[in-house]
Amino acid sequence: MRYRVVHHTSYAYGAPMADGYTVAHLLPRPTAHQRVEHADVTIDPEPDERAERTDAFGNRVLQFGVHRAHDRLDIVAESEVVVDLPVPPAPGEPWEDVVARVRALRGPDALAVRPFAGASPFVDLAAHGAALRALAEAAFPRGRPIVDAARALCAHIFATFEYDPTFTEISTPLSVVLEARRGVCQDFAHLAIGCLRTLGLAARYVSGYIETEPPAGEEALVGAAASHAWCSVWVPGQGWIDFDPTNDHLPAHQHVTVAWGRDYGDVAPVRGVVIGPAVEQRLTVAVQVTRVHADVR
């Protein structure tokens, strides 16, 4: 399936800012199931400097600076990607065996997988371990195959937490989400990741998009109007398998991956610093993901 993605991020500042620096994870990376045909980011006002680098996870990172007075910043990321229909995953081994395998990984695999099996800034296992274990318990009975268990966990989060885009801030700690039992996609992704890691499994945070305008007769998915996030769990022999707790399913072809990391903090779509008076700033985000039909081969 071929998708065209337009992701428009716009900041309006209440007064001119003297200087601004931005780091963006907006350029989709290629994956085993995704080919990036083209990707570009347009910035207005034109930055005084701009550079692209690759981060420790292999994501494409754009860093730019506007070093003159500006009272707004528009960032438009446009890309065209081709997403394969992934093969439905096999149920896999009992999850306890996967835990043991993660710990036993050595060599390059240890570097690729094990960093995702511990705590990270947004997934504080020391503080929330008990609550996360309790949340995971029902989905992880002894001996259950890993893929089935992870799917059950996402279904459980989907069923018992309410999607509420008005509720959370970027900095909402897991404790608040656990207490109020509501949140947005990144909170649900963090919850699922926390549950998986507290059991000793390796889980990573995936940032991307889902199709905004589904074909006639199909319902639009939750989180479609903005950037989206879900989680991915490492399964021996199959690699990383994506799960979307916000939509209670395995990401099929409707998901476009941009970047992954330990949690939101590693792959925030746009992050930055402006230097100027402490005034109000307004952020608007618009995302459009549409199927491209013209190019059927």
Partner 1 sequence: MVRAADLLARFSLDEPALARRQVEADRVIGASLAGHLVHEAEGNGDRPWQLDPIPYVLDGAAFDVLAAAVRARVQALEALLADLYGPRLAVQEGIVPAEELAASPHYRLATVGAPAPPRWLVTYAVDVVQVADGSWRVVQDLTDTPTGVGYALIDRAAMARVAAELLGPQASSEVASIDGFPVELRHALGAVSPVASPRIVVFSGGMSQPAYVEHSLLAAQLGFHLVLPPDLVVRRGRLWLRTLGGFDRVDVVYRRLADAEVDPLSVAGTTGVPGLVAAAADGGVVLANAYGTAVLEDPALARHWPAAVEALTGERLPLAPLAPGDALATVPAFREGRLGQAPVVIRLHAVNGPDGVTVMAGGNGRVLNDGDDPRRPTARLAKDVWVLGSDRAAPVVVAPLPQVDLAASVPTRAADAMYWLGRAAERAEALAKAARVITSRRLTDPSLAGHDGGRWARRMTHVLRILRGAAAGADDPSTTAVAALDAELAAATGALSARLHALLAEAALVGEYLPVAAGRVLRNLAAARDHFVHGRAAADELDACIVDLAAFAGLWAESTVQGPAWRFGDIGRRIERALVVLELVDARAPVATAAGDDHPDVVAAATLEILLAANESLVAYRRRHRSDVEPGAALHLLLDAVENPHSYLACVHRLAEHVAAIDWQEGREAVAVLAGLVDEHGAGVADARRALLALADLVHDTWFATPVNPTVVRGRLQ
Please give the residue ranges that form the binding site for partner 1 (CB under 8 A). 9, 11, 18-23, 49, 51, 53, 55-57, 63, 65, 67, 105-108, 110-111, 113-121, 125, 165, 169-170, 184-186, 202, 207, 223, 225-229, 262, 264-266, 268-278, 281, 283, 285
Report the nearest approach of partner 1 to the CB of residue 28 (Å).
16
**C-beta separation of 157 from 149 below 8 A:** no
CB of 77 to partner 1, least distance (A): 12
Question: Please, which residue, 111 or 138, has the CB nearer to partner 1?
Answer: 111
Shortest distance, position 294 Cβ to partner 1, whole Å: 30
Smallest gap from Cβ 133 to partner 1, in A, equals 17
Rounded-to-integer distance, Cα 78 and Cα 4, Å:
7
Q: How far is the CB of 85 from partner 1 (least distance, A)?
A: 26
Integer Cα distance of 140 and 61 in angstroms: 36
What distances in angstroms separate CA 215 from CA 209, 219, 246, 295, one per listed residue? 16, 8, 20, 17
What are the beta bridge partners of residue 95? none
Using a 10 angstrom Cβ sphere, with 0-12 exposed, 13-18 middle and 19 or more buried, the burial of residue 288 is middle
Q: How far is the CB of 35 from partner 1 (least distance, A)?
A: 24
Q: Which lies closer to partner 1 via its Cβ, residue 40 or residue 49? A: 49
Burial category of 246 from C-beta neighbours within 10 Å (exposed 0-12, middle 13-18, buried 19 and up): buried
Q: How far is the CB of 278 from partner 1 (least distance, A)?
A: 6
Residue (227 or 257) nearer to partner 1, CB: 227
Closest to partner 1 by CB, 244 vs 266, is 266
10 Å CB burial of residue 277 (0-12, 13-18, 19+) is: exposed
Choose between 220 and 273: whose C-beta lies nearer to partner 1. Answer: 273
Give me the count of residues in the chain. 297
Question: In angstroms, rounded to a whole number, what is the distance separating the alpha carbons of residues 221 and 154?
Answer: 15
β 162-163/182-183 pair status: parallel
In the complex with partner 1, the residue whose CB is nearer, 60 or 89, is 60
Torsion, Cα of 263, 40, 227, 203 (10° steps): -30
Nearer to partner 1, 51 or 138 (CB): 51
